[in-house]
Amino acid sequence: MHTHAAHRRAALWLAATAGFIALALATPALSQAEESNPNNYSCLGSLAPGAPEAGSEDQQVNYTFYCNGPITGYQLQSQVPVTGIQSPPLVSKNRIALADSFSCSGEVPGWAVNCVGLAKGGYENITGQFAIGTKLCAEPRVDALLTVTYAYLEKGVITQAISGPFDLGRPSGCKPDAFSGGTRLNPTAPIKKKAKKAKQGKKHTRAKHARAKKK
């Protein structure tokens, strides 16, 4: 239920910004030669510990992702309250910084990072960070969902495409625990640890039998 609600919020926000983006950037429609369907992009990303922010004691979370087509906006939906947003994120390709950029904002504290701008081509890496009010490795660990949009003018009409949500997964750099291996979109049942008392009981029983045999 939370996933569907987050997706609806993302769709509403992206729809509200589509007109502004398309008019401001006059982004061209994708040519027929483009393989990627902007309504069915593939995006891949991850979360990791972020760099400390001056004046903030909150936990910083680094995010990075890329899609196989151009985008004009994206939203990260967190299930852990967001307490700070870094802007602008870095846009690069093959480790070379690009002129493409985004501006990010959102309610603080809140549940989403909203970014508008332009990545002109596919496979451009977008890297930024946001802050949360809990420790990175504390459960529930932050697991952000990504939704992207491509807004453009086609025959004078504003058109927008939306892809996602994509799960960025649990943050790297944390020790495995009972919830490891699962994500928000593909959760797994917690791994139950075997009770140590049973093993101790067996050892105690064996010791009793050994003493009985000696007698």
Mean pLDDT of 85-100: 95
The C-alpha atoms of residue 123 and residue 68 are separated, in whole angstroms, by: 5
CB atoms within 10 A of CB 114: 23
Peptide linkage before 49 cis (omega within 30 of 0): no
- The lowest-confidence range among 5-19, 116-130, 148-162 is 5-19
Q: How confident is the model at residue 202 (pLDDT cuts 50, 70, 90)?
A: low
pLDDT at 32: 42
Q: Are 40 and 67 in contact, with CB atoms under 8 Å apart?
A: no
Residue 77 has pLDDT above 80, yes or no: yes
Q: Are 53 and 131 in contact, with CB atoms under 8 Å apart?
A: yes
List the Cα angle 64/68/70 in 5-degree steps.
85
Residue 14 has pLDDT above 90, yes or no: no
Mean pLDDT of 98-127: 96
What values do phi and psi take at 163, rounded to 5?
-130, 145
User: What stretches of the chain show up as alpha helix (H) in DSSP?
Assistant: 2-25, 196-214
The C-alpha atoms of residue 215 and residue 200 are separated, in whole angstroms, by: 23
Sequence-ordered list of residues with C-beta below 8 angstroms from that of 169, at least 6 positions apart, any chain: 46, 47, 143, 183
Which domains are delineated in the chain? 2-167 (2.60.40)
CB atoms within 10 A of CB 50: 21
